[in-house]
Each structure stands twice: as structure tokens, then as C-alpha cells.
Structure 1
Amino acid sequence: MSDDILVQLACPSCTHPINLKEQGQQISCPACSSHLLLDGHVCPNCGEYHKVDSGFCHTCGTALTRTCERCHTRNWAGAEYCQDCGAALDIFQLLSLHNKHSTMSRLDEQMREAQFFKEKEKADSERRMTGLIEKEQARLQDIRERQAAQKKQDQQLIFTAVLVLSLFILIVTAFAVL
């Protein structure tokens, strides 16, 4: 059997279905109370069956094993007692591992979102800056064109003034000579 999702198993003694999500590595039939040992682990979170012993579920990332603090034996994450020394396994340790994974997932997601928004804001900022630069260049071009038009107008005005003054001097000189 490969790593397939296994939710129920038929009891080998009475063929009654056994819900694996509620069981650990040692399975007991609720109908006939027979016990059997499951080769591998079932994830307590998503119910995926892992034939190969691994520390975390390949589907949801939940811890599949816990280490007994007394004898350091690896136990299934859903076990209440150590399979070697019988010590009670602290359920709060399992919850903290799950919360740690959830927190890390949430923080990773927040980091990805922050990076996305940072890149989006950078692209928007560059787009706005490009627009502002284009507007500034257009404004400066308009100013240069107005200055050129004003300079041309000033030159025409000076030319007209010089022409009028020259005619005035000529007329005054012509009347003075006469």
C-alpha cells in the first residue's frame, strides 16, 4: 500500500469498520475489542496514512511523532502514553507543536503577503514616478516653448521700437533740415 488516505479500516476479526482518525498506532475495534498494531502512522489532523515512519505529515505538516520526555522514545503524536515506559504524554506538548506549526504557517503567509504588497507598492510607486517625470518633462518643454515665444515676441517688439524710433529720428531730422 502506498501513502494513500486511509480513513476507515475493517477489523480483521469481525469486519466492523474502525475509524482511524480516532486511533493511534495501536488500534482497537469498538465492536469486538480486538487489538492490532498499524504499520506506520495515521495523521491525527487530516487522517492521511503514512506507511513510512516520518516526523511530519506530508499533507498538512502536523507532527506524527512525539518524544517521551522520560525515556526519549518516539511515540505516535496521538498516543496518550509512551509505548516504552508507559509515562503519560503531555497533550499540551502536542497542542504547542500544532500551534507552532500553525503560527509558522501564518507567519509565512503574512511574510508572503507583505512581500507581495511591497512589490506591488514598489511597482505602483515606479509607475507614479514615471508619470510625474513625464508630466515634469512636458511642463519644462511647455516653459521652454513659452520662453522661446516670449523671446521672439520681445525681439519683434524691440525691432518695432527701433524701427519707430529710427523713423521718428528721420522725421525729426527732416523737419530740422527744412
Structure 2
Amino acid sequence: MNDEILIQLACPSCTHPINLQEQGQQIECPACGSHLLLAGHVCPTCGQYHKEDSGFCRACGTAMTRVCEKCRASNWAGAEYCQECGAALDIFQLLHLHNKQATMNRLDEQMRDAEYFKEKERIDSERRMAMLLEEEEERLQGIRERQATQKKQDQQLMLTAVFVLTIFVLIVAAFAVL
């Protein structure tokens, strides 16, 4: 029975069905007005019956207890008054418990989205870097080719100058001998 969701209970006085999802730990029969004390707790969110004390619902994960702000005693999440000091438990705290799970889910989804976009940006960045490195390599290769061509032209010019200078020296020497 621990894994089944108990939704209705028959009143021991009149056998009228009592809807447990609308009740807390203290149950009142709508037909005869009998008051019953439920041994365990019913999850205020999904209606799962928990015979033993549990901090969280096994079915939906909702917190089954909340702390009294006045005396710090632990109370069932659906209780309206503290079982220790009798102080009214704040309805906003109960709403906060419901919203807390939604907020956690939203934050988890945002974290997953952030990780996805971070990974996508990393991949795009690596792709752009590879393209830039390829373009840089092509640019450097062009520079090396132009330098090699310039070096050949400089060598040819130097050889031509040496050849012309040698012929000039020979002509001057030939005229000097004559």
C-alpha cells in the first residue's frame, strides 16, 4: 500500500467516502461530521499517502513538512496551525514550497540552455579560429613565394651587374693597354 495513491477513505462511522486530497492529517467526514486522525500524511500536491513520516513525497518530490516560523517545529505541509505552539502557518510559505520546485526546474532548464549555448559558441569559435589560421597560412605562403621570386630577381640583377661591370673593366683595360 505504500506505493499506491490513497485518494478516498471510508468513514468508520457511516462508511461515507472521504476525499483525502482535500483533507489534512485531521479528517472530517462530510456526511456525519466525525473527526478522524490519519496515522500518516497525504501529499498536498499529488495525494500520495505516506504512512511513515517522510520529508518529501516519494511520488512527486514535494516537501511533506514545513517549519513553524515562531517555534521552529516541523509540521505537515498541509497543516494550517503549528502542532507545537498553535501558531497559524503562513499560507505564503505553502505557496513558496509549490513555487520553489517550479523555480528549481526553471533554473535547471536555464542552466542546460546556458551549457548548450556555451558549447555551441565554443564549437563556432574553434571553427572560426581554424578558418583564420588557414587564411593566415595562405597569406604567409604568398609572402614566402613573393620573397623567393624577389630573391631570384635580385640574384639575376646582381649577375647582370657583375657581367656588365666585368665587360666594362675589360674594355677599359683593353683601351688602357692600347
Q: 1:170 to 1:12 in 2, by over 3 A?
A: same
Give runs of aligned pairs for residues 161-172 of structure 1, distance below 5 A.
Answer: 165=164, 169=168
- 1:96-133 CA deviation, whole Å, 9 max, x = no partner? 34334443443344344334433432333233223312
1:11 aligns to 2:10 (yes or no):
yes
Q: Name the residue aligned to 2:128.
A: 128
Q: Name the residue aligned to 2:51.
A: 51
Q: Percent identity?
A: 68
Q: Name the residue aligned to 2:90.
A: 90
Q: Is the 8 A contact 1:3 1:51 kept in 2?
A: no
Secondary structure at the aligned position of 2:144 is classed as helix
Q: 1:141 corresponds to which letter in structure 2?
A: Q
Cα distance in 1, alignment partners of residues 71 and 168 from structure 2: 121
TM-score (norm 2): 0.69
CA RMSD across the alignment: 3.6
Q: Name the residue aligned to 1:42.
A: 42
TM-score (norm 1): 0.69
Q: 1:160 to 1:34 in 2, by over 3 A?
A: farther
Secondary structure at the aligned position of 1:75 is classed as strand
Q: 1:154 to 1:44 in 2, by over 3 A?
A: same
Q: Mark the runs of 5 or more structure 2 residues left unpaired by the alignment.
A: none
Secondary structure at the aligned position of 1:66 is classed as strand
Offset at 1:170? Answer: 9.7
Q: Is the 8 A contact 2:11 2:17 kept in 1?
A: no
- 1:73-96 CA deviation, whole Å, 9 max, x = no partner? 432211222345543222122223
Number of residue pairs aligned between Structure 1 and Structure 2: 176
